[in-house]
Structure 1
Amino acid sequence: MSDASQANITVALGLLERVMLSTLTTVPCCIFLFINVIMLFTLRSKPVFCETSRYILLYNLLFADTVQMAMSQLLYILSICRIILTYPVCGLLVMFANLTNEISPLTLVVMSVERYVAVCYPLRHAAIITVRNTWVAVVVVWTFCSLNIFIRVVLLLDFPFADLESLLMKDICSTLVMFLGKRSADYDKAYTCFLFVLAGVAIISSYIGVMIAARSASTDKASVRKARNTLLLHLVQLGLSLSSTVHNSFIVVLAKLLTGVIFVRIRIVLYVCFFLLPRCLSALIYGLRDQTIRPVLVYHLCCRRKLSSQSRLNSHPKKHEMN
């Protein structure tokens, strides 16, 4: 992007500080990756989760968040260890990370539309939001994001790689250094604005529609209140999810204002706030909030043997009392 930003990225941290920063980010990331994987397994453990539209969309959201968190942590470890990659390898990692990063806000849009239809058109909800239509929406989301990645790759081809002495990068791999031209940077800004406006308008419109439906006397007030809270939750998640899309632009601004180790440390804090935390919240929020998911998730998170032994103890209390 700029000589100043790349010079700041190359600042070396001390060995002890690298180890501490790696530990402080990797350990929580592994814990939340474990929780997300258990949540994904939970959403495939019972037919009700596989045959309900909102759980299918939740699975897609969690899958994208889990892959994004793993890819972000991989890029972080590569950068903190100062491992230099080639342009093709770095480009592949960055594009895959960008793909999963853009899946989340669009999936939240579909989830908000599903809640809007459930409240405002309850009699037609079963006919509109079918399992087949839900999977079609998931495929459309992945196709749209894949098309965006394809455009980014095409823009990267303008860079004169043939003039390089070697395809080995001179800096650490990150989304920032893969903007190899002005067109790539301009496209990223335009797409980020488009995604932010599209997702924001869709969720806010759904929320307004639900609030209008709440005034109808024939509407189930409990259902409306639950849908309203869900849409507010989607709006918060959207803000957290889209915060990672504006991360690159924010880093460019900081690169012009800060130098040295201070920039690197602030960038690590932003990585934790913009990338790790939003991806950790989905599983916890939905896993603890949904009455159908919660007992199954707790069962898988806890030791099954302990639960099984407890159930046997409850089923044979007299036998244990005699012992």
Structure 2
Amino acid sequence: MSNSTGQQINITMPDMFQVYLVKGLYGAFCVSPSIVFLYINGIMLFTLRSKSVFRETPRYLLLYNLLFADTFQLAMGQLLLILSLPPVFLTQYTCAIIVLITITVTSVSPLNLAVMSLERYVAVCFPLRHSAIVTIKNTGVSIGVVWALSSINPLIRSILLVLYETFSADQIMQQFCAMDALFYSIVSQEYDKSLTAVTFTSVGIVILCSYFGVTTVARSASSDKASTTKARNTVLLHMIQLLLCLSTSLSGILMGYIYRLGTLNRTARLVVGYIFFIFVVTLPRCLSSLIYGLRDQTIRLVFLHHLRCALWTGGLSLATDKH
């Protein structure tokens, strides 16, 4: 009996060493750029709160909400990744709280993109009524509705967790804390597929209708074509961002399909998982600040100013609000 145990240890120890080596190398490779993007996103969030012109303009408020959701989701993803590197064992209760919060914030991004597209549609198609329709109050209500709708998903998930999953609050997780580790029943999987299809189809229709509406006005406009063209490109950018959000939502399904092929060993699955994490989960969450920070002329000057101050002084320097 002791010989068989010793033989098993000799066989498994090199494999475990290789697994922990891959975790350390790829974990550092994933965490390092994410920290940089979190830093940049933080500067962008600070920028959007540093001037009254940003705080009192509806589209900048919507951008702040989108960027906050993306940054928070990126931070939670980094937390889960860091916890997966050493053998940290979480209780199912702790894991469920982290996952449910992440699910709530994840649902905000596509819904917020739909509201941003509608705002651009109203600005171009109803310019005389834009200031009356898109007010600070109405924008705040829209953001509240977005968060309220996003909160429905984790509530339903909590019910599914109690009714259909093997859940015990004080039980230790036997694997990496993730949504797939908590919700693995057929009912939860079908709900996830249905919710993803309904959400992205609905938001996609809203963005497409906004794009075609803005395009129609841009073709028929006799003046201010530059403004309408810029609005059309902005709505198109929202569609690209929606596709990136969709790729993030489908990453779990794609990873599950790859794992079920059975052709990859444990080390190879870790490598594929980290590659997915970088290009499918991390990058879409980091593009908003870079795209809008460099594309919008009003934001660009203030953003680059704060970025230079942060790089030179090691922290954000408070800019005097002249507006």
Question: What TM-score range do you get, normalising by the shorter chain?
Answer: 0.7 to 0.9
What's the CA shift for 1:181? 2.1
What's the CA shift for 1:133? 0.5
SS at match of 1:172: coil
Q: Deviations over 1:239-281 (max 9, x none)?
A: 1112111112112211111432222211111111111101111
Match of 1:195 among 195, 199, 203: 199
Alpha carbons 2:69, 2:109 under 8 Å: kept: yes
For the pair 1:19 / 2:24, whether they are aligned, the reply is: yes
What's the CA shift for 1:178? 1.2
Superposition pairs of residues 50-69 of structure 1, within 5 angstroms: 50-69=55-74
Superposition pairs of residues 67-86 of structure 1, within 5 angstroms: 67-86=72-91
What's the CA shift for 1:184? 1.4
Name the structure 2 match of 1:8: none
Superposition pairs of residues 301-312 of structure 1, within 5 angstroms: 301-303=307-309
Match of 2:39 among 27, 34, 44: 34
**Any unmatched runs of 5+ in structure 2?**
1-14, 314-323
Name the structure 2 match of 1:182: 186
What's the CA shift for 1:217? 3.7
Q: Which amino acid aligns with 1:145?
A: S
For the pair 1:255 / 2:259, whether they are aligned, the reply is: yes
Alpha carbons 2:22, 2:270 under 8 Å: kept: no
CA distance in 2, matches of 1:66, 1:131: 23
Name the structure 2 match of 1:146: 151
Q: Deviations over 1:73-129 (max 9, x none)?
A: 111122232322111100111111111111111111100000011011101100111
Structure 1 runs of 4+ with >6 Å offset: 304-307
SS at match of 2:178: coil
What's the CA shift for 1:18? 2.0
Name the structure 2 match of 1:173: 177
Match of 1:287 among 287, 293, 309: 293
SS at match of 1:123: coil
SS at match of 1:176: helix
Alpha carbons 1:99, 1:145 under 8 Å: kept: yes
SS at match of 2:297: coil
CA distance in 2, matches of 1:99, 1:165: 20
Moved more, 135-144 or 179-188: 179-188
Name the structure 2 match of 1:129: 134
CA distance in 1, matches of 2:240, 2:312: 36
> Are residues 121 and 78 of structure 1, via their aligned partners in 2, closer, same or farther at CA, if it must alter by over 3 Å?
same
Q: Deviations over 1:58-83 (max 9, x none)?
A: 00000000000000111112223232
Q: Which amino acid aligns with 2:282?
A: L
Alpha carbons 1:83, 1:172 under 8 Å: kept: no
Percent of aligned pairs with the same amino acid: 46
Alpha carbons 1:213, 1:219 under 8 Å: kept: no
SS at match of 1:158: helix
CA distance in 1, matches of 2:309, 2:139: 34
CA distance in 1, matches of 2:231, 2:110: 18
Name the structure 1 match of 2:220: 216
What TM-score comes out, normalization by structure 2 length?
0.87
What TM-score comes out, normalization by structure 1 length?
0.87
Alpha carbons 2:20, 2:85 under 8 Å: kept: no
Alpha carbons 1:156, 1:181 under 8 Å: kept: no
Name the structure 1 match of 2:282: 276
Alpha carbons 2:165, 2:182 under 8 Å: kept: no
> Are residues 81 and 224 of structure 1, via their aligned partners in 2, closer, same or farther at CA, if it must alter by over 3 Å?
same
Match of 1:242 among 207, 226, 246: 246
Alpha carbons 2:45, 2:64 under 8 Å: kept: yes
Alpha carbons 1:64, 1:101 under 8 Å: kept: yes
CA distance in 2, matches of 1:165, 1:148: 20
Alpha carbons 2:89, 2:172 under 8 Å: kept: yes
CA distance in 1, matches of 2:256, 2:166: 23
> Are residues 262 and 305 of structure 1, via their aligned partners in 2, closer, same or farther at CA, if it must alter by over 3 Å?
closer
What's the CA shift for 1:48? 0.5
CA distance in 2, matches of 1:305, 1:89: 36
Match of 1:265 among 271, 276, 279: 271
CA distance in 2, matches of 1:279, 1:76: 15
Match of 1:120 among 125, 128, 131: 125
SS at match of 1:177: helix
